[in-house]
Each structure stands twice: as structure tokens, then as C-alpha cells.
Amino acid sequence: MDLGLSAVCAAAFGYLLGSIPFAVIVSRAFGLADPRTVGSGNPGATNVLRSGNKLAAVLTLVGDAAKGALAMYIVSLFAASAWLTVTPLVIVIAGVAGFLGHVFPFTLGFKGGKGVATAIGVLLMFSPVLGAAAIAVWIVTVALTRYSSLGALVAALASPIFAWWLLHDVAMVIATGMMAVVLIVRHKANITNLLAGTEGRIGAKKIS
């Protein structure tokens, strides 16, 4: 198959896989409230956790993290086939499309999650070292500030730098840069709260 058409097919497959709304599916399976009706209204693991069901939250987190990575893996299986012309770039496209499918899923009216878990899964598939570096940045930032959102933002900004430093791959830099931009935009409310000093810290007690 032509490389351009293969890239389109990989992107379409990745987007469809990324559009699977695990937060909603898992919540329904456990008889929990729709995660879009509680907390921030974000269909992700954090809002599922607000239901009090940790297992449901973990399953959601794993599902969201796996979507983009699984898209990349499945596309890579066609490398020796005549069905698709699979190159490293085509595999990267499948992963980014999976991330975009999670953030803008047609299954939820294009209103999806913030994409942190899916992005981490994709980064780990790009390169385990790259993914580990992003996770390390998130952990250190959160440990120092107790702001989960700030950790995600700093890790997103650092990812393209790590991609260039560790991989020297322009496609990886562009891919991580695109995901970083989307992550920052999806965290717009968190950025506003951080600047105003009203963002919730991990472990902080709520005042009733």
C-alpha cells in the first residue's frame, strides 16, 4: 500500500481506538455515576476515582494509557505485510492519533479527557527511556509542589526536549510537541487556577 494511504489508515485506526471512552464504560460496568457529571466533568481516571471505587479508577487509567500504545503496537504488526507500508513515522502517527482520539473522541461529542495517561502510554511506546524521563519529571514536580496538574504541564513541556536529546528524531520531537500543545490547552483551567493560587494540592484538606 502507498505510504501516504498507509499513514491515513494508521491515523484512522489510532483515532478510533483512542476514542474508546474507558471512563464511561468502566463507570457503567461498576454501576457508578457518569464521570462527566462529577468533579471537573472530565471523562478520566481522576473523576472515576471520585466515585470512591479505586479498582474502577485503576482500570480506567490502564485503559486510557494503553490506547495510543496499543494502536502503535498493532500497526507495527503489519510491518511484514503487504497490507500497509509501515515505517517508524507511520507508527508514530498511529500513536498521536490515539492520543487525539482520547482528547477529542467522536464517541463523546469530541469532548474527551485531558490526555495525560494516553500521552504517557504513547511516550513509553516511542521509547521506554523517553516515557520514563517524562514520568520522572512529573513525579519530581509533584513531590516538590504537590500540584498534579503542574507536574503534567512541566512533563509535557519537557517531553520534546527529551525527545531531541535522547532520540535525535525530528518526527518524535514534532509528535511530542504536538501532544504537549494539546495537553497545555486542555489544562487551561488548571493554569488559571495555578496563577490565581486556587489550584488544589495533592493531600490538601478541603474546607467545608
State how far the Cα of 33 lies from the Cα of 30, in Å rounded to an integer.
9
pTM tops 0.85, yes or no: yes
C-alpha cell at position 46: 481522576
Helix ranges (DSSP H) in the chain: 3-18, 22-29, 45-49, 54-76, 88-103, 116-126, 128-145, 148-162, 170-186, 188-196
In angstroms, the Cα distances linking 157 to 85, 124, 144, 152, 179 are 32, 16, 17, 9, 10
pLDDT at 18: 97
pLDDT values of the chain reduced to their tens digit, one per residue, 208 residues: 678 888 999 999 999 999 999 999 999 999 999 999 887 788 989 889 888 899 999 999 999 999 999 999 999 998 777 777 888 999 999 999 999 999 999 999 999 999 999 999 999 999 999 999 999 999 999 999 999 999 999 999 999 999 999 999 899 999 999 999 999 999 999 999 999 999 988 766 554 3
pLDDT at 208: 38
pLDDT at 40: 77
State how far the Cα of 57 lies from the Cα of 73, in Å rounded to an integer.
24
C-alpha cell at position 40: 471537573
Of 192, 24, 43, nearest to 113 (Cα)? 43
Q: 97 with 14: CB under 8 angstroms?
A: yes
Of 152, 147, 154, nearest to 200 (Cα)? 147
pLDDT at 81: 75
Of how many residues is the chain composed? Answer: 208
